[in-house]
């Protein structure tokens, strides 16, 4: 059995996570190791129950089934989440290697943030004579952000600069928040720009550049902007962002190497630091040592391809949405989803699984269904399962297995797990297999997961409404006393039959009209409760005789029966059977309210003479009154 390694990370750190995962996957090659990546997209500015729904994916794996765990800790800044993963690993008794955030239980591999930051900030002060500085931080509790802020203060102090003059703004890692801050601070053009704006990461740096350019400022002419991480999008941006490369691909490879050594019982140091590389570029006014023109030309060539793939992505998701919403039942939803994914799976790849909580299906018919807020059910419904391009007819599986189908011939497997939910309500999860690059395409992955979540919520709402509407119709068309169809239901069916008659449809049907005898006598002598019991007994007898036909209570003591199919063919025999049954009950010497006395007549539709259902009803009604007269004469 291959070693199972779990990797936990927040998806927003897509460039770093992708490099880290690439390093892990490269180190896996030739080894008997599979990687399970659990990722999600919570934010600091969303409602907390939305984040609960996202972060719940970290509760999916049973870590007792794993050999070890990797955690990209600097991406997990949500209170208690990092600690809960560590606690789960402790309980499972498996080793952990973290990156970007330490824990006494875990081994640690990380970049020398302090050294990298000091190199960058020393360059700003010594080479560019920067004195007045603004620091755009991440989250108050984020260790990486705080290390970089601390390094800046240290370097300022070492160069005789007053650290009290350093402005700090906490962006919560949200580029939009950082941009709004810059706009509000400098839009009046009266507040002087700092010598340099130092950002805790490259995403913040590029967003700051955008905001400054919108206000008419030039970077680096009017102010320097620097970042951290050296992500690709910041490198090709104009101006290319001066930054620090943390060598996350190397860190990922070393992290797995240490983890496997610990699993095998080999002694390792508790901590390992990888040196950072200072990347000097245009945003600080320096000449970049890399060939940015070539890099940008290559990026330009990819614009058409990227645009085409975005169009295909939008088309595929729209097709999926249309198919999913076209069903009126959960079963139709499953069928439609399977068909839509099978048609085109260019985005999801050859291995993909869509797994749903049983509560999702139950909620279609029961609006009071309670969803799990934390964790996953022991057994899950499989909506779609494709392994290496082959779809599998699997409808249910044990959640602990995580993946419904796995090809034993494939080695070095990589599975990416993302959550499905509405707010904190757990809908299930999706699995992307053998496609580590999907975590690099974080925007599309986030968009895909978000759209699927919206589609699932719409499907649930639509089908639930249909079910409720059907139940409402059933309630409005059901007789309260006898629970057969009522006058409103008969009127609706009559309109439907009249439409068929008008269109000259080939219809073969008959109407039976039945009237209960002696109801007034029972009401007057025994009371209305006895009268109601008498009505129910008579109705029950009609239903048992005409088993294949809908029965309608169209008046207090009057019933109509639409005879079709077998009942239509055997209508005369059934009418005789009703007479015989009434005699059997009468011979039993029952109490009056237990007796059954019903007069009835049948009218058969004739397309040569009948223009509407009322013509058939009139003949049946006349036959019923004729039968009622005979019954009175015979005193039955």
Burial string for 282-311 (b: 16+ CB within 10 Å, else e) reads bbbebebeeebeeeeeebeeeeeeeeeeee
CB contact burial 501-520 (16+ within 10 A = b; e otherwise): beeeeeeebbbbbbbbbebe
Render pLDDT for 391-424 as a digit per residue (tens, 0 to 9): 888 999 999 999 998 888 889 999 999 999 998 9
Is 314 a residue whose pLDDT tops 80? no
SS3 string, 179-213, reads: HHHHHHHHCCCCCCCCCEEEECCHHHHHHHHHHHH
Q: Looking at residues 87-94, what average pLDDT do you find?
A: 96
pLDDT cut 70: percent of the chain above it: 94
Give the mean pLDDT of 351-365.
Answer: 91
Phi first, then psi, for residue 83 (nearest 5°) are -65, -40
User: Distance between CA 37 and CA 441 in Å, rounded?
Assistant: 15
Using 50, 70 and 90 to split pLDDT, how confident is the model at 303?
Answer: low
Number of neighbours of residue 34 by Cβ within 10 angstroms: 21
- The answer to whether 371 and 357 are in contact (CB under 8 A) is yes
Region 111-247+276-293: CATH code: 3.40.50.2300
Fill in the DSSP letter of residue 418: E
Q: What pLDDT does 349 receive?
A: 81
Assess whether pLDDT exceeds 60 at residue 278.
yes
The Cα 148–Cα 115 span in angstroms is 10
For the chain, give the number of residues: 636
Answer whether CATH 3.30.70.270 is correct for domain 487-634: yes
- Domain range annotation of the chain: 111-247+276-293, 303-400+438-476, 487-634
**In the predicted model, is pLDDT for residue 440 greater than 60?**
no
Q: Out of 34-43, 62-71, 316-325, 613-622, pick the least confident.
A: 316-325
The pLDDT value recorded for residue 306 is: 61
- pLDDT confidence band for 299 (50 / 70 / 90): low
Question: Is 264 exposed, middle or buried (CB count within 10 Å of its CB: 0-12, 13-18, 19+)?
Answer: exposed
**Which pLDDT score is estimated for 343?**
73
pLDDT mean over 323-332: 84
Tens digit of each residue's pLDDT (9 = 90 or more) over 230-245: 888 888 888 999 999 9
Mean pLDDT of 442-457: 82
Radius of gyration, CA atoms only, the chain: 37
Weakest-pLDDT range from 37-46, 218-227, 529-538: 37-46
Confidence (pLDDT) at 636: 47
Least confident of 279-283, 363-367, 415-419: 363-367
- pLDDT of residue 33 exceeding 70, the answer is yes
Mean pLDDT of the chain: 89
What are the tens digits of pLDDT across the range 463-504?
878 777 777 777 888 898 999 999 999 999 999 999 988 888
> What local confidence, expressed as pLDDT, does residue 301 receive?
54
Phi, then psi, of 370 in degrees rounded to 5: -95, 130
d(C-alpha 383, C-alpha 391), whole Å = 11
Give the pLDDT score at 48. 61
As a whole number of angstroms, the distance between CA 359 and CA 221 comes to: 58
Given the structure tokens 């080894």, which residue do they identify? 31
Distance between CA 141 and CA 80 in Å, rounded? 12
Structure tokens at 433: 């297999």
Position 54 pLDDT exceeds 60: yes
pLDDT at residue 47 tops 80: no
Q: Are 8 and 61 in contact (CB under 8 A)?
A: no
108 sits in which H/E element: strand 107-111
What pLDDT does residue 593 have? Answer: 75
Write out pLDDT tens, residues 540-575. Answer: 999 999 999 999 999 999 999 999 889 999 999 999
Cβ-proximal residues to 255 (8 Å cutoff; 6+ apart), any chain: 20, 23, 24, 70, 97, 99, 109
Burial of 440 (0-12, 13-18, 19+ CB in 10 A): middle
CB 323 within 8 A of CB 281: no
- Cα(325)–Cα(329) distance, integer angstroms: 10
Pairing of strands 425-433, 277-279: unpaired
pLDDT tens, position by position, 115-151: 899 999 999 999 999 999 999 999 888 888 999 999 9
Enumerate residues 6+ apart whose C-beta is below 8 A from 390: none
């Amino acid at each position: 059995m291959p070693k199972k390694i779990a990797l936990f990370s927040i998806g927003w750190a897509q460039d770093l996570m992708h490099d880290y995962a690439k390093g892990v996957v490269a180190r896996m090659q030739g080894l008997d190791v599979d990687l399970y990546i659990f990722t999600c997209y919570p934010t600091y500015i969303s409602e907390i129950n939305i984040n609960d729904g996202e972060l719940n994916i970290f509760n999916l794996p049973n870590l007792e089934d794993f050999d070890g765990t990797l955690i990209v800790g600097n991406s997990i800044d949500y209170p208690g989440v990092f600690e809960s993963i560590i606690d789960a690993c402790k309980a499972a008794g498996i080793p952990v290697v973290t990156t970007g955030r330490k824990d006494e239980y875990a081994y640690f591999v990380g970049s020398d943030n302090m050294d990298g930051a000091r190199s960058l900030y020393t360059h700003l002060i010594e080479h560019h004579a920067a004195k007045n500085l603004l620091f755009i931080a991440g989250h108050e509790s984020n260790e990486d952000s705080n290390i970089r802020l601390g390094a800046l203060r240290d370097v300022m102090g070492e160069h005789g600069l007053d650290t009290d003059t350093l402005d700090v703004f906490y962006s919560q890692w949200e580029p939009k928040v950082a941009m709004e801050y810059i706009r509000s601070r400098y839009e009046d053009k009266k507040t002087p720009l700092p010598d340099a704006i130092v950002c805790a990461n490259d995403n913040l740096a590029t967003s700051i550049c955008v905001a400054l350019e919108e206000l008419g400022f030039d970077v680096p002419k009017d102010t320097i902007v620097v970042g951290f991480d050296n992500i690709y999008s910041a490198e090709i941006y104009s101006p290319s962002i001066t930054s620090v490369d943390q060598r996350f691909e190397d860190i990922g490879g070393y992290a797995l190497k240490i983890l496997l050594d610990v699993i095998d019982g080999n002694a390792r140091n508790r901590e390992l630091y990888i040196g950072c590389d200072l990347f000097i570029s245009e945003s600080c006014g320096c000449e970049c040592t890399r060939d940015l023109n070539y890099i940008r030309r290559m990026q330009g060539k990819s614009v058409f391809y990227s645009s085409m793939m975005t169009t295909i992505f939008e088309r595929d998701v729209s097709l999926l949405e249309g198919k999913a919403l076209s069903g009126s039942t959960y079963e139709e939803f499953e069928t439609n989803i399977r068909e839509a994914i099978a048609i085109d799976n260019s985005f999801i790849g050859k291995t993909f699984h869509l797994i749903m909580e049983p509560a999702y299906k139950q909620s279609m018919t029961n609006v009071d269904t309670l969803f799990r807020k934390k964790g996953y059910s022991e057994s899950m419904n499989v909506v779609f399962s494709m392994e290496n391009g082959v779809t599998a007819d699997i409808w249910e599986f044990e959640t602990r297995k995580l993946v419904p189908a796995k090809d034993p011939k494939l080695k070095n497997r990589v599975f990416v797990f993302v959550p499905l939910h509405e707010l904190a309500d757990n809908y299930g999860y999706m699995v992307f297999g053998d496609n580590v690059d999907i975590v690099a395409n974080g925007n599309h992955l986030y968009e895909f997961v978000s759209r699927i979540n919206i589609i699932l919520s719409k499907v649930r709402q639509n089908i639930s409404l249909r079910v409720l509407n059907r139940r409402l119709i059933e309630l409005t068309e059901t007789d309260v006393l006898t629970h057969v169809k009522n006058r409103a239901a008969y009127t609706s069916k009559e309109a439907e039959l009249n439409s068929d008659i008008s269109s000259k449809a080939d219809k073969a049907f008959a109407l039976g009209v039945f009237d209960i005898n002696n109801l007034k006598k029972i009401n007057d002598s025994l009371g209305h409760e006895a009268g109601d019991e008498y009505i129910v007994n008579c109705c029950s007898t009609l239903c048992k005789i005409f088993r294949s036909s809908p029965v309608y209570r169209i008046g207090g003591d009057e019933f109509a029966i639409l005879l079709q199919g077998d009942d239509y063919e055997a209508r005369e025999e059934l009418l005789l059977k009703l007479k015989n049954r009434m005699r059997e009950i009468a011979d039993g010497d029952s109490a009056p309210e237990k007796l059954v006395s019903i007069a009835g007549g049948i009218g058969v539709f004739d397309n040569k003479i009948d223009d509407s259902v009322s013509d058939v009803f009139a003949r049946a009604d006349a036959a019923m009154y004729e039968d009622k007269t005979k019954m009175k004469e015979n005193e039955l």
